[in-house]
Copies of this chain bind each other. A is one copy, B any other.
Amino acid sequence: MKQQTGPAKVRPISGFPEWLPSERIVEQHFLDVIRETFELHGYASIRTRAVEPIERLTSLGEDTDKEIYAVSRLAGGSDDSREPKLGLHFDLTVPFARYVLENSGKLTFPFRRYQIQPVWRGERPQEGRYREFLQCDIDIVDVGELAPHYEAELPLVIADAFSKLPIGPFRIQVNNRKIPEGFYLGIGLTDVTSVLRIVDKLDKIGPANVSELLQAAGATPEQAQKCLALAEISAPDESFVERVNALGVEHETLTEGLAELAAVIRVGAEQAPGLMVADLKVARGLDYYTGTVYETQLIGHESYGSICSGGRYDALASDGRTTYPGVGISIGLSRLLAKIMPSLSASRSTPSCVLVSLADETDRPQGMTVAAALRRRGIPCEVAPVAAKFGKQIKFAERRGIPFVWFPASADQNNDSVKDIRSGDQTVADASSWAPPAADLRPRVVT
């Protein structure tokens, strides 16, 4: 048999983070709460392939922020020529739009779906920016038209999920692209996309630099000033409408955007007071958004940027005959966890709640029977790796944070017993009826 050792050098790859088992317990807790919340709100799960035709990925506009990873068979192969060139998806919205087109005849609309998968972007790795990261998306699509009330629903689902997670205070910022679009057109700036891209840098480079860039792109100082005045408007209620109107700009698209955003903010204030704000500087990088857009800040970590973003897209999913407008929002879970993982830990690094000890290796079958009885009643456990003195077994459990050690009956002892190694309490126990306190059954996330 070939003995393989592999190359000796092993090291992390920049931008491709991995968690230790105890950190993974924290991540899994987040995933469980997010999934549970998405399902409580009626979102159905789908999982799409990791690859899309490169042609589809690159058709979504020049966005230098997203860099596509191409995928090709190392060995080449003659049967490849008729197949499309493939790339790893850089988000879950583009694959979802394609999935909707591909399966439109088999879905019922409006279709609510959630999707939790890794995505890949060949960006330069930096704080909170990875090349592989987990996203947790919800979207609603409908056929032909999409009712505006869904634009208020999505951030409420996110608010519900985040309220159950130990992430501290957060703020969902909502804008509507029609507002800056109409506003810019209203003051005579017609290259809306370029202006949006420049204003989007406001948090990073500050108002003076934004003004300079806008003027370099052809705006007058007055136009640049107006763009900044709009971007600075933020409010937890509909008062933003008055403040925009006070800037004295008129345009049909602006009026439409203000009404749409006011409706979203009104529902937010009713159903989740204090969690949503209208923030008119939010633009989002991706080109496919056409109306409402979302970002989310951790309060106290505003400079970290958004940890949950999305928006409405009216034309992303279209086969030329039918269009499926949608609205979606995506939790950047890896990005969120990178920020808050240092403040969290797991109560233990293994699911095992009980270590079944062995006084002698010949007792292993009996130990396995005890373990099977505990598992049948939902108690995670493992049998000791090797027969050893009790003290050694307790140390083994301690090192992993396993709270209970089980001692099967033996020649010296008529009954099974179980010891809580934290308190030292030891009691007679029966594997067919004993249960740990509910709080000890699974590893907990500790803040």
Contact = CB atoms under 8 A, between A and B. Distances in A.
A70 B74 contact: yes
Contacts of A320: 5, 8
A5 B315 contact: yes
B74 A67 contact: yes
B375 A160 contact: yes
Interface string A258-273: 0000000001001100
A106 B20 contact: yes
What is the oligomeric copy number? 2
Interface string A162-197: 000000000000000100010000000000110000
Given A102-B12, A315-B3, A365-B267, A45 B73 contact: no
B290 A102 contact: no
Contacts of A315: 3-5
Interface centre among A10, A67, A103 (most CB of B within 10 A): A10
A71 B70 contact: yes
A50 B51 contact: no
A59 B10 CA distance: 13
B46 A21 contact: yes
Interface centre among A45, A48, A56, A378 (most CB of B within 10 A): A45
Contacts of A16: 49, 51
A290 to B, nearest CB: 6
B101 A10 contact: yes
Nearest to A400: B108
Interface residues of A, number: 122
Interface in A54-108: 54-56, 58-61, 67-75, 77, 79, 83-84, 86-88, 94, 97-99, 101-103, 106-108
Interface stretch (A112-120, A202-210, A212-220, A428-436): A112-120
Interface string A1-15: 111111110111110
Contacts of A375: 40-41, 160
A347 to B, nearest CB: 13
Nearest to A99: B18
Given A24-B47, A271-B365, A1 B120 contact: no
Interface string A120-132: 1010100000001
Given A6-B318, A40-B378, A270-B365, A47 B71 contact: no
- Top 9 closest A-B pairs, CB basis? A42-B382, A42-B352, A39-B351, A16-B49, A73-B122, A21-B44, A68-B74, A40-B375, A10-B101
Given A54-B74, A70-B72, 16 more contacts: A1-B177, A1-B193, A2-B288, A10-B319, A16-B49, A21-B44, A21-B45, A39-B380, A40-B381, A42-B351, A42-B352, A44-B350, A67-B73, A67-B75, A75-B122, A112-B350
